Amino acid sequence: MINNYTPNLCRDAVCISNDVRNSAIISSYFNKPRQYFAVFSSPRELDIVRRREVVFVNNIIAKINPKWILLSNLDEKVRDDFLKKFPSERVIIIDFEEEIKKKLKNVITQPTNNVFCRENDIAKGLLFAKNQNAKLIIDNSAKDINKFTTNRHLVFLDDFSGVVPTITANYAYSIGASIAIGKEYKREIVEDICESFLVSRIYRGHERGLIAEKKIKDTANLLDIQSILSNFDFITFITNGIPYGYFAPYLPCTHIFSLSNIGVTLAESMFYAKYINYIRSVLVIDPGFFKNSETNYVLQPFRNSGSYVRSLIGKNATVYQTRMHIQYFPYDLLFICTHAGKVSGKRYKIQIEDQDGKSHIVVIDMVFEYTKPPGEITDDTKLEVIDQRIFIEFDGKEWNKSNQKDFNWAEGSFFKTFMNTTPSQWNVIDQYDISYVKNSFRIECIDGFCVFALQELADLENPFIFNNSCSSFHSIAAQCLYAGAISYIGTIFPVKDNDAKIIAKKVFSNTNDSTPLAFKIWEAQNFVYKNTADRPYINIGCHFLAINTSEKNIKKSLPKRISISLKN
């Protein structure tokens, strides 16, 4: 059996870094058992994104309340943003490897032994160093690290970008797990794998469906994770988005997405499990498309407890109410029961000028949502139009591969100006309809479709999201986690109505036994699908997280949470 305890958050110090070497060496100094030393990825450079991510990091650091805040090798603008947030007497700036020992002298007891590892082996090297109470020395002439703990929990890593290896090692140490290293896959390959699951179902029996089915089988052979399963009782996959759980159906597991804010997600998960650990408020969305849906099974335990329940059911599940509640109502659990799917839209090729007057060609996809305001609809009623803009190319290069430093949008003002303009104000070179906008997702409401486009969640809290709509795993999962969710359950292909009902009933049948959600999902799928490996549900979140109810009446605190949400 694995340990299901929640690690303690280290309050001696936290680290914000953009340097995997520095962050790993610093982390090796903090090695108390069952304690998690929090490292946070440096917020990204684009102004509008950076400020939001600074807020996310600042909020969790305020909850941890560490003695010291270590800033290591940060971009000047990012460093300045954080220096405005924290008292200067609690901040230590560490830019060079050589100054780590000196600057940590009065922060933490210095390790007396050393462990050596190569730079491409930092995750395993750091874990071994922490287990040996030793300082990590990064030396590319070092031998391979092949040491494992005796614990039956494995943390499997496939993303080596930024400080993700450091965060992974700190997490594995705090839960007493081993680490295994997988192959890193490009984002387009990950998206192609996830897309294959949906295509294989939609076009089952047709050529396109058969090609997708073959791709899934080829992926199983490519990942080759079966060879490591026999040595462990549970696996946590820290991944760029691959649904490994589908390829390991007979072993309980969970996933943690290695997004830019993985450090925030892990720390917020521990804070929730340690200091809250029960559902205070619930939001359920069910337009009523499924006869005798699972909604009542979900609602029952919370109606019988001290939780506040807000349900948008039937005619109340309008696009307007759904969007407003998802964005502004402070929930600890969001349950969605409706149809869902990919989104059509329009692609624009636009000529624009940056702040220096230099001309650029930008390609974006746009998704439109038309919202009817509450109240009686007349001929004079104006629909609210909301658009979601997804950047595809910049000067002929894929957007995520473009050199945005040269684009002058990092200052933010030009970017924000552009985002506040409409297509009628653009110099459009070309435009055409597209049937599928990648990384966009919508759920069906009683009066239309609500485009799921989250940037941050209500009152900056960190909810569980159970999206029991069809094929709800990939793009929407990443979006919800980036916005602040600590747990997300979705499906990689359409689910039969009765199966969805049974899964929900099993998961929510006993909310007082503290069984971790990852185990409940696995056991529920075992019950429904028995010996069949073709299982649709994927769990994302720390293995110790559980959905619990409480008899505490928290309804009095709700107005304050709503007020905070509206201010943000």
- What does each of the 568 residues of the chain score in pLDDT, given as a tens digit? 677 899 999 999 999 998 999 999 999 999 999 999 999 999 876 666 777 888 899 999 999 999 999 999 998 888 999 999 999 999 999 999 999 999 999 999 999 999 999 999 999 999 999 999 999 999 999 888 876 556 789 999 999 999 999 999 999 999 999 999 998 988 888 888 888 888 888 788 899 889 999 999 888 888 877 777 778 999 999 999 999 999 988 899 999 999 778 999 999 999 999 999 989 999 999 999 888 888 988 999 998 888 889 999 999 999 889 988 988 888 999 999 987 766 788 999 999 877 677 788 889 998 877 777 776 666 666 667 777 788 888 888 877 654 444 444 444 555 666 777 778 888 999 999 988 777 677 788 998 888 776 666 766 678 999 998 777 776 688 888 888 899 999 998 888 889 999 999 999 988 888 899 999 999 999 999 988 888 999 999 999 999 998 767 666 666 666 665 555 5
Look up residue 225 and give its DSSP letter: -
Whole-model pTM: value is 0.90
Distance from C-alpha of 88 to C-alpha of 82, rounded to nearest angstrom = 10
Indicate the pairing of strand 487-491 with strand 537-540. antiparallel
Token pair 């650029």: residue: 360
Q: Please report, as a single letter, which amino acid is at residue 158.
A: D
CA angle at 217 for the pair 211 and 218, rounded to the nearest 5°: 85
Look up residue 10 and give its DSSP letter: P
Residue 411 has a pLDDT of: 46
Q: How buried is 129 (Cβ within 10 angstroms: 0-12 exposed, 13-18 middle, 19+ buried)?
A: buried
Question: Measured on CA atoms in the order 95, 101, 107, 113, is the torsion positive or negative?
Answer: positive
Task: From 390, 387, 397, select the one nearest 420 (Cα to Cα).
Answer: 387
Residues counted in the chain: 568
Helix, strand, coil shares of the chain, percent, nearest 5, are 40, 25, 40
Distance from C-alpha of 353 to C-alpha of 348, rounded to nearest angstrom = 16
Distance from C-alpha of 149 to C-alpha of 161, rounded to nearest angstrom = 25
Task: From 399, 455, 406, 485, select the one nearest 51 (Cα to Cα).
Answer: 455
Residue 294, C-beta contacts closer than 8 angstroms, at least 6 positions apart: 337, 468, 500, 501, 503, 504, 505
Distance from C-alpha of 112 to C-alpha of 493, rounded to nearest angstrom = 52
Compute how many other C-beta atoms are within 10 angstroms of the C-beta atom of residue 343: 25
